[in-house]
Amino acid sequence: MISPHAPVNGGNFRALTVKAPPRSIFTAEEPVAVQWYFSHLGLLIDLIIKALAPVIPDRAAAAHYGDSMCINFAGVDPQNGSPFLTVEATVGGWGAFHGVDGRNALINNVSGDFKNLPVEVMESKYPVTVTRYAIRPNSGGPGKFRGGNGVIREYRINCDDGCVYLWWERSKNPAWGILGGHAGKGPVVAINPSTSREKRVLKVNGMKWSFRSQLPRF
């Protein structure tokens, strides 16, 4: 946004001053509890761009989905008796900007080294079946230029019992629009979707789970 036609260097940031008061969510100090870095960093980037949008509207983008939306499954593989742990970051939609719709199904802007785990790789390494992987229609924010869409992933875990870990942000304040654009849809995690036993949860650490009888959808 500052110097878009030159390689990034130290001079790009001399024109910017960021003030973060002590003991905020961006400047946590012991003994407060902390967790992932990317949720807050992605939020900070989107907030700075939002603040600059009124003065440089042709360079600013709407917010993206803003988090790695981590999904971890753990259990014992019934094929070989070995413990397994899956660690997966979910892709989502990016915000639109002047003259261009937002992109669908990209990794978040602070986790560029994370890879979209192919279904075939997951199913060959773990007792996991991905029963659905698709673009989540109309999940991007509407406007003159549409925000990018997220994805739908449905899993079947092929072992009797295990644990699940979830860390999902931006549910109450999903990716916002700028300059008159509207917000996108927030994340949804459903266990036993579309049944009388459906349960929705966004954050859980080591929740014990009877996998055989349940189908999670993200």
Q: What is the largest CA-CA distance in the chain?
A: 60
Q: What is the pLDDT of residues 10-57, one digit of tens each?
A: 888 888 787 889 988 888 899 988 877 778 889 999 999 999 999 999
127 prior amide bond cis, ω within 30: no
Instruction: Identify which of 143, 145, 136 has the alpha carbon closest to the alpha carbon of residue 186.
Output: 136
Structure tokens at 106: 């990209």
- Residue ranges of alpha helices (H) inside the chain are 38-52, 119-125
**Percent of the chain residues topping a pLDDT of 90:** 52
Q: Higher confidence at residue 33 or residue 132?
A: 132
pLDDT of residue 217: 55
Q: pTM of the predicted model, to two decimals? A: 0.86
Rounded to whole angstroms, the Cα distance separating 116 from 106 reads: 8
Confidence grade of residue 114 (pLDDT, cut at 50, 70, 90): confident
pLDDT in tens, 191-211: 878 888 888 999 888 888 776
Q: Phi and psi of 152, rounded to 5°?
A: -120, 130
Which are the contacts of 172, defined by CB distance < 8 A and separation ≥ 6? 186
pLDDT one-digit tens code per residue, 174-185? 999 999 999 999
**Nearest Cα residue to 93 out of 11, 176, 156:** 176
pLDDT over 60 at 212, yes or no: no
The tens digit of pLDDT for each residue in 136-195 reads 999 999 999 999 999 999 999 999 888 999 988 899 999 999 999 999 999 999 887 888
